[in-house]
Amino acid sequence: MTYGLYLQDQIAFTDNLKMLIGGRYDWLSNETGSLDDDRSSQDDAAFSPRIGLVYQPSKNVSLYTSYSQSLRPSIVRNSLYSD
pLDDT score for 74: 63
pLDDT of residue 43: 79
Mean pLDDT of the chain: 82
Determine the average pLDDT of the residues in 12-18.
96
Share of the chain above pLDDT 70, in %: 75
Task: Average the pLDDT over 39-65 and give the result.
Answer: 89
Q: State the pTM of this model.
A: 0.60
Average pLDDT over residues 57-79: 79
* Residue at 58: amino acid letter: S
Task: Based on DSSP, count helices (H) and strands (E) in the chain, helices before strands.
Answer: 0, 4
